[in-house]
Amino acid sequence: MGKVIVVTSGKGGVGKTTSSAALGAALAQNGEKVVVVDFDVGLRNLDLVMGAERRVVYDLVNVIQGEAKLTQALIRDKRLETLYLLPASQTRDKDNLTPEGVEKVITALKRAFDWVICDSPAGIERGATLAMRHADVAIVVTNPEVSSVRDSDRIIGLLDSKTLKAENGECMEKHLLLTRYDPARAERGDMLNVDDVLEILSIPLLGIVPESMDVLRASNVGSPVTLADGHSAPAIAYFDAARRLKGENLPVAIPGEKRGFFGKIFGRKAA
């Protein structure tokens, strides 16, 4: 049985889709079977970020409504043969996602894949609650910024109350993925730093992805950043996060902590 992961945040635009694609590709590079499911019905983007937008024929809603078989809707990645995408519908709305339908699809995917990654839409409505419903593990994507942290706190509350795991009295495994982290701003004290966010949300840290042009470049060419440039800083952060997801105990490097000579002299936060 595969593991179901929800990538969620509450707040929009923090990097859920970017992270779903990057982690999916990172996990699949080791030969594990991965499917990334777009739950953002009406506003799909995962297909674009993964470079599969021209290959979408059927989608999640078609499968749920019985208009297509699951195997017809799954798109295999052109670069990695163990990576698949299940796109969302662009023309219908979230009401077409039924709890029963979602359950059926997830159950089938769990049987066929090692990892089922659910890219949640923003918000706390139906799409978001259905995306998290069957999760074994949650990745809470947060930017170091007040509104994102607040929304993440809200989402953590929902993960602990509205999911199947929570309803069965089990504890949802939650991880924090801090994205769009700008070391210079954190250093200047104009952005919440890693410790601040960890202290406030108090869930374990899965990784820190720096703010980077490489993410934009990767999405421009339709490639998860872990495939586009595996040596870029965000790609390395996602690769490490993927290893931690698999249970490896890797220390998390805080971007900007490794500084050059001048950085050491001028950039340090003195006691």
Partner 1 sequence: MNFFRLFSRPQSAPAARERLQVLLAHERASAGDSDLVTKLRDEILRVISKHMQIDDEKVSVKMERGAQVTTLAVDIEIPFEAGKKAA
Chain contacts with partner 1 (rule: CB under 8 A): 145-146, 149-150, 153-154, 157, 161, 186, 188-193, 196, 199-200, 266, 268-270
Please identify, among the stretches 16-24, 63-71, 102-110, 255-263, the one whose residues bind ligand ATP according to the rule CB under 6 A: 16-24
Give yes or no for a contact between 267 and 261, defined as CB atoms under 8 angstroms apart. Answer: no
Nearer to ligand ATP, 70 or 193 (CB): 193
* 110 or 234: CB nearest ligand ATP: 234
CA 86, CA 228: separation in Å to the nearest integer?
21
Residues 88, 258 contacting (CB under 8 angstroms): no
Residues β-bridged to residue 118:
6, 37
> Least CB distance from residue 111 to ligand ATP, whole Å?
27
Smallest gap from residue 210 Cβ to partner 1 (A):
17
User: How many CB atoms lie under 10 A from the CB of residue 204?
Assistant: 12
| Pairs from 49-52 (Cβ < 8 Å, separation ≥ 24) | 49/17, 49/18, 49/21, 49/219, 49/222, 49/224, 50/21, 50/77, 50/85, 50/222, 50/223, 50/224, 51/78, 51/221, 51/222, 51/223, 52/77, 52/78, 52/85, 52/87, 52/222
Cα separation, 15 vs 144, in Å, equals 12
Nearer to Mg ion, 116 or 194 (CB): 116
Q: Which does 15 bind (CB under 5 to 8 A by kind): ligand ATP, partner 1, Mg ion, none?
A: ligand ATP
- Span interacting with ligand ATP, options 53-61, 130-138, 189-197, 204-212, rule CB under 6 A: 204-212
Looking at residues 220 to 239 of the shown chain, list those that interact with ligand ATP (rule: CB under 6 A): 234
Asked if residue 8 binds ligand ATP (CB under 6 A), the reply is: no
Residue type, position 165, single letter: K
17 lies in the binding site for Mg ion (CB under 5 A): yes
Whichever of 15 and 255 has its CB closer to Mg ion, that residue is 15
Distance between CA atoms of residues 121 and 128, nearest Å? 5
18 interacts with Mg ion by CB under 5 A = no
Stretch that binds ligand ATP, among 29-37, 60-68, 160-168, 209-217 (CB under 6 A): 209-217
DSSP letter for each residue of 173-193: EEEEEEEEE-HHHHHHTSS--
Name the residues that contact Mg ion, by CB under 5 A: 16-17
Name the residues that contact ligand ATP, by CB under 6 A: 9, 12-18, 40, 45, 121-122, 179-180, 209, 211-212, 215-216, 219, 234
